[in-house]
Amino acid sequence: MSNRSTPSDAIVLSHGVYRQTYGKVAHGLVRGSDRFKVLVVVDPEAAGEDAGELLDGRWRGIPVVSTIEDALAVAPTRPEYCVVGVATHGGRFTPELRQLMLEAVEAGLAVVNGLHDFAADDPDIAAEAARRGVELIDLRRPKPKSELHFWSGEILSVNAPRIAVLGMDCAIGKRTTTRLLVEALSEAGLRAEMIYTGQTGWMQGARYGFVLDAVVNDYVSGELEHAIVTCDREAQPEVMLIEGQSSLRNPSGPCGAELLVSAAARGVILQHAPARVHFEGYEELGLEIPSVEEEIRLISLYGSRTLAVALHADGIGPAELEAHQQRLRAQLGLPVVRPLDEGVGELVPVVREFINEEGS
């Protein structure tokens, strides 16, 4: 599937998890995509709701229904794609999800899948797709090694400064903050580009990047460098915002160092969920998330500086989140924003100043 100037009509599967963190792919697409126009969300646990109102209180005219048959019946136009909008544990197909993908193909829809299990490797789904003549797009299928890149140092010639949006943990809003800030910077007249590093970033239409966890580790730094160099040459942005993955210290995916070292991101926006004590999925092991202050010190040891903190409302109400915001502002002496509640406009002058400093 190539980039299109007009988004393609799609339905999104979030079977049973739209109200949960595991529905974060669907959440991103409902909030906005330049690649897909979401017509309907399929989730029997949330059927009858508007997907936008359920997500953040904003009506978006995207109904949630129980089945694919219902989705096709209520969609205002015939969708071309069915997008898998869930992030299952380990990226595996559940029996229910596999059955839904098969039903989508039987209905003549192309399937876009960002999980580690591949739709094209499932005999039944692949055979039905061949019969129907529809595409199966597995975003985490690795490229041939002949198409991958090693880190070369070419990034040292890149002009545009880079800001990494890093998280204290995974599933904490990094991609959403990145996208919102790129939009805000563009509206303010700055040439800003997002470097996506996950499948949802591609689904939302970001032009430059790669799916980090579909790449053999030896090539991650090189693919990151290649995406940034390509972006710099083609788009000539004034600043790049790099979407972080997992966190600096989550033991199941300690990502972040590549963005600071290999991508030479000298600025950081740190995503934090004040109510989250343990790394997600490891509560029983007692693995505690470090403090914001400790994380900022670690970032400084890499030679980068934290420009601002963005808050995620996981497990906390609006009033308490705002109280945390005020407390952190006083403690850190940094801008602290609530992206989904108040936007990220406060960060625009922060980024302008960073650009000026990096260029001087």
Mean pLDDT of 28-37: 96
Question: 310 is written with which tokens?
Answer: 């963005």
pLDDT at 21: 86
Mean pLDDT of 291-299: 97
Give residue-wise pLDDT tens across range 216-271.
999 999 999 999 999 999 999 999 999 999 999 999 888 889 999 999 999 999 99
* Number of continuous H segments (helices) and E segments (strands) in the chain: 13, 13
> Are 54 and 17 contacting, i.e. CB atoms less than 8 angstroms apart?
no
Give residue-wise pLDDT tens across range 245-257.
999 999 988 888 9
Was domain 147-359 assigned CATH 3.40.50.300?
A: yes
For residue 4, pLDDT over 60 is answered with: no
Residues ≥6 apart with Cβ < 8 Å to 8:
1, 35, 36, 37, 80, 81
Mean pLDDT of 199-208: 95
Quickly name the fold that domain 8-138 has. Rossmann fold (3.40.50)
Give residue-wise pLDDT tens across range 118-132.
999 999 999 999 999
b/e code 99-117 from CB counts within 10 Å (16+ = b):
ebbbbbbbbbbbbbbbbeb
For residue 314, pLDDT over 90 is answered with: no
pLDDT at 1: 59
Q: How many CA atoms lie within 13 A of 322 on its CB side?
A: 4
For residue 325, pLDDT over 60 is answered with: yes
Q: Give burial (CB, 10 Å; 0-12/13-18/19+) of 8.
A: middle
Residue 3 has phi, psi (to 5 degrees) of -65, 140
Distances (CA, A) of 214 to 139, 149, 222, 256, 312: 8, 14, 13, 16, 26
For residue 89, pLDDT over 90 is answered with: no
Q: Band the pLDDT of 359: cuts 50, 70, 90.
A: confident
pLDDT > 70 in the chain, percent: 98
Strand, coil or helix: 40? strand
pLDDT at 360: 67
Q: How far is residue 236's CA from residue 224's CA, in Å, rounded to a whole number?
A: 17
Residue ranges of domains in the chain: 8-138, 147-359
pLDDT at 198: 93
Mean pLDDT of 41-54: 96
Mean pLDDT of 50-78: 96
pLDDT > 90 in the chain, percent: 92
Same fold, 8-138 and 147-359: yes
Mean pLDDT of 331-358: 97
For residue 3, pLDDT over 70 is answered with: no
The mean of the pLDDT values for the chain is 95
Mean pLDDT of 165-183: 95
Give residue-wise pLDDT tens across range 90-141.
788 999 999 999 999 999 999 999 999 999 999 999 999 999 999 999 999 9
**pTM beyond 0.75, yes or no:** yes
